[in-house]
Chains A and B, each alone.
Chain A
Amino acid sequence: MNKPAVFLSALAGAVVVLMTSCGKDTKDPGLEFMPDMYRSPSYEVYSSNPNFPDSLTMQAPVKGTIPRNYTYFNYPSTIEGYEAASRDVKNPLPLTEANVAEGQRLYGIYCVHCHGDNGQGDGNLVAIGKFPPPPSYSAGNSSRGGAMKDLSDGKIYHTIVYGINLMGPHATLINPEERWKIVMYVHQLQGNAATPAAGDSAVAAKDSSTTTAMAK
C-alpha cells in the first residue's frame, strides 16, 4: 500500500466518524424555509410586547371587569368571608351521576396528587414524602374549626378559590362550573352525601360528552 491510499482511507474514516458521532444538535431548531409564517409579525399570546410596561402581550383584564356568563364570588379571603360563603352559597348544579362523574374526573386532575384517590390526604406527593398531608375529608378536622366531613358547599368552594394553609388558590386553574362539580364529588368523599340522580338532565348530557373518553 502506498502513501496516497493510506491518507485517503484515513480521511474517509475521519469524515465518517465525525458525521456519525455528533448527531443532530437538539439545541438548534434547524433550517427554516420561508420563516415568515412561523415568526409571526403580529403579537402572539406569549410573545413579548414593547407596548406595555410589563412587556407582556397577554394582559390581565381591566380591574373590575368580568367575562360574560361569569359568576362572581363576592366573598373575601377571610374567615368571615368563609363563614358567609358557607351560609349563603349553594351548589347551583343539579346532583346527577354525570356531574359527580365529571367532578371525579376533575378531582383526578386538580386534587388527587395531594388529597388522594379517596380524599384521605394520602395522594402520591404525600406518599413519596414530598408534601405534608392535608386532612382527610371523612375523618380529619378543619383548621378553621369543625370536622372536615361537615364542610359545606360554600366552604369547599371558598377553599378552592382562595386556598388555605399550604393549599394555594386554584381560581386561575379551575373555572366556576368545574369548581362546583369538584365540590359535588368532595361531598361524596366526605361520606355523607346524598345519592346522585341517575337520570340525565340537559346539563348532565352535555357534560358527559368526554367523561368516558377521558377517564383513564
Chain B
Amino acid sequence: MSKFTEYIKGYWNGTGTLLVGLRTSMRVFLRKKVTEQYPENRHTTLHIPERHRATLEMVYDEEGHHHCIACGLCQMACPNGTIRVTSATKEDAEGKKKKYLVKYEYDLGSCMFCQLCVNACPHGAIRFSNHFENAVFEREKLLLTLSREGSVLAASGSK
C-alpha cells in the first residue's frame, strides 16, 4: 500500500513543483526586460567605465605636446611585441645628446590589454582609452600610429 501512496504523492509533488516553476517564469514574463539595446543606447544608458581598456593612446596636453621620451620601456614590457617606438637622437642647446620620439606604432590587433606598457611608462605618456568601437574590415587598419606629426615633447617632460 505504501508503494501506492508514494505513487500518488509523486503525482502531487511533481505537479506542485511544475506549477511553482510556471509561476516564477510568468512573474519574469511580466517584469521589465533587462536588454540593453546597443547602438541606440550609445548616448543614453550605455556606460563605459573609465578604467575600461579599449585601445592604447598617447596623452597630449592642450598644445598638442606628448610626454614620451622614447625610452622604449613600454616596448620592452610588452609580451606580444605590440609596440614599436622609433627614436632618433639630436643635440640640445647644451650640446647633450638626447633621444626624441620619431614614431610610436601600436598594433591593436595583437594587443592583449595587459596594461604592462602603461605600468612601465615612467612619464604617463600613454594610457588606455574608452573608444571601444574598433572593428575594421582589414587587419592593416589595426596598425595604428599613436604619435602625431609635428608634436613634440611637452616642456615639463612629464605630466
- Whether chain B is bound by chain A comes out as no
B positions within 8 Å CB-CB of A: none
